[in-house]
Amino acid sequence: MDEAIDRTLDAVGPRLKRLRLHRDVTLADLAAETGISTSTLSRLEAGLRRPTLEQLLPLARAYGVTLDQLVDAPPTGDPRINLRPIPCGDGSVILPLTRRPGGIQAYKFVLPTGNDDAEPDLRTHEGYDWVYVLNGTLRLVLGGHDLILKPGEAAEFDTRTPHWFGATSAGPVEFLSLIGKQGERAHVRAAPRQDLAE
């Protein structure tokens, strides 16, 4: 049992380094975010120092992963995702649906009833977004377009295009969002329609 623990702990350093390099974060930036000195972070990544729980917690938070993922704990066989809602100041709630770092990330958004007269605050960022409305009415302002999406409707766009999401005065809205890095897209496959004349 001690050998298994030793192997697990020895693998944490390289995993920490891969996570940091994958996110293009410097040791100095990570030190500022976690409160762990750059020298300690360097020694952890090089395997010259064993991580403690006090170090792993802020590192997991900084990388947006669970402790299990950080130490590569064996799977428990339980497929459930432990959703932790993120409440926002405006009454909206975000539920992350993916737990792995990198790649396309999935979120469920729940937005409270909106004000149709409110001026949208359009934003831009790197990436690509695909949205799908579950319940309610979603207002999507995308560049020069002001769109209303109903349940079952979807939209996809380059997030470098100025955009904004909001609920309408008709009530709250729930929608799914798949967000990928620039160039990563969610591929939607559909069977071709049968021609009724055939």
Domains and CATH numbers, the chain: 1-71 (1.10.260.40), 86-180 (2.60.120.10)
Name the token pair of 37.
């000195």
Q: Is 133 exposed, middle or buried (0-12, 13-18, 19+ CB in 10 A)?
A: buried
Beta strands in 48-100 (DSSP E): 86-87, 93-96
In contact, 36 and 29? CB cutoff 8 Å = no
- Looking up tokens 């309408």, which residue turns up? 168
Q: Is 129 exposed, middle or buried (0-12, 13-18, 19+ CB in 10 A)?
A: buried
Other CB atoms within 10 Å distance of the CB of residue 119: 8
Predicted local distance difference test score (pLDDT) of residue 135: 93
- Percentage with pLDDT > 70 across the chain: 82
Predicted local distance difference test score (pLDDT) of residue 96: 86
With vertex at residue 87, the alpha carbon angle to CA 149 and CA 115, rounded to the nearest 5 degrees, is: 45
CA–CA gap between residue 67 and residue 76 (Å, rounded): 14
Q: What is the pLDDT of residues 79-131, one digit of tens each?
A: 666 667 788 888 888 888 886 666 788 889 999 999 988 889 999 988 889 99
Predicted local distance difference test score (pLDDT) of residue 103: 75
CA–CA gap between residue 39 and residue 64 (Å, rounded): 22
**Which ranges of the chain have pLDDT less than 50?**
1, 196-198
Name the token pair of 78.
């339980």
CA–CA gap between residue 65 and residue 61 (Å, rounded): 7
Q: 8 to each of 2, 5, 22, 77, how far by Cα in Å?
A: 10, 5, 21, 19
Predicted local distance difference test score (pLDDT) of residue 198: 47
Predicted local distance difference test score (pLDDT) of residue 192: 55
